[in-house]
Amino acid sequence: MDAKLVGRAAVEVRSVWRNACPGAALRWGASLAAHLPECVRSRSLVPADRAWAQTGARFRTASGAVVSLPAGYTAGAREMYCRNVYLRTGLRMPANGWVVDLGANSGLFAVWAAVTGAQVIAVEAQQDFADKIRGLAEHNGVADRIDVEIALASGVATSGARVGVVADDLRRAATSHGGSARPVDVSMPELISTHRIDRVGLLKVDIGGGEFAVLADTEDLGWLRGVDQLALELHRGFGDTAALIERLRRQGFAIDLRDNDGRNTASASGHPDYAYCRRL
């Protein structure tokens, strides 16, 4: 195993012991030991995650809240709660107010926001995730804090059906929880109006390229003035990342660009995977 991979694995192991609750950390460590040859061959720690997939796990999040995941919900938990990929540069999970989660998947981020104290709008294009999000919210006692919207995150004038992974019918059909029918579009201005949101404390966007519809150059992005923080995963194959970042700067954000390992990239030309945006 090369030195770079060893260093990355060491960081991951430390993050598990720091953020997983003791029982979950012990199970993961035992699983890592049992599956170490497989982890080395695959150059991944995913085989060690099987212990959580079978038993569930609890995590101490960066906000101090504890999230409980039943078996079957733990895919992505190490990335979400241990590596803290969405808030790792100092963005904070609000303890009140509104959080909007575009690309909610099975609800790991939305439930984290709700157990911290926020009111959450969870938007997900794969319709079969709706029951999983609601089930996880009930499991953590925060069902009253999460509204689920099955829709394609879009702009007002730019349909989410135009760009991104789930915009393509064949790709959507191949996703784990996508149904046969294309979901309707929903824009941030619509969500803000429908839910009577006065201010968004945190907007998380991970929608497989759909960010280039939500934040298109043809859109009136004035609604971003009502957003305090934005955590954005970038999918470079679907649009002009540098132009998108510049549009966010013009809306009054200071932006920290990082690659998938959390290393700073000085500009959009450095191929960032995440943009962490804080209102100036």
Are residues 110 and 231 located together in one domain of the fold? yes
The rounded distance, in Å, linking the Cα atoms of 122 and 148 is 5
Largest CA distance in the chain: 53
Are residues 72 and 160 located together in one domain of the fold? no
234 CB-side CA count, 13 A:
25
Sign of CA dihedral 74, 79, 82, 84: negative
Are residues 168 and 222 located together in one domain of the fold? yes
**Higher-scoring residue by pLDDT: 261, 17:** 17
Q: What pLDDT does residue 216 have? A: 96
Last residue of a domain, one of 61, 82, 103: 82
Token pair, residue 143, equals: 């069902």
The rounded distance, in Å, linking the Cα atoms of 271 and 274 is 9
Q: What's the average model confidence in pLDDT over 11-30?
A: 95
Are residues 71 and 207 located together in one domain of the fold? no
Q: Considering only CA atoms, which of 183, 173, 176, 181 is closest in space to residue 210?
A: 183
CA 152 from chain centre, in angstroms, equals: 15
- Alpha helices, DSSP H only, in 128-167? 130-139
Q: What pLDDT does residue 176 have? A: 61
pLDDT of 180 > 70? The answer is no
Last residue of a domain, one of 48, 82, 116: 82
Last residue of a domain, one of 50, 65, 82: 82
Kindly provide the b/e burial profile for residues 80-95, where b requires at least 16 CB atoms within 10 angstroms of the residue's own CB. Answer: bbbbbbbbebebebbe
Q: What's the average model confidence in pLDDT over 76-84?
A: 95
Please name the amino acid found at residue 74.
T
Expressed as residue numbers, the domain containing 10 is 1-82
The answer to whether residues 58 and 66 touch, using CB atoms and an 8 Å cutoff, is yes
pLDDT digits (tens, 9 = 90+) for 205-259: 999 999 999 999 999 999 999 999 999 999 988 999 999 999 999 999 999 999 9
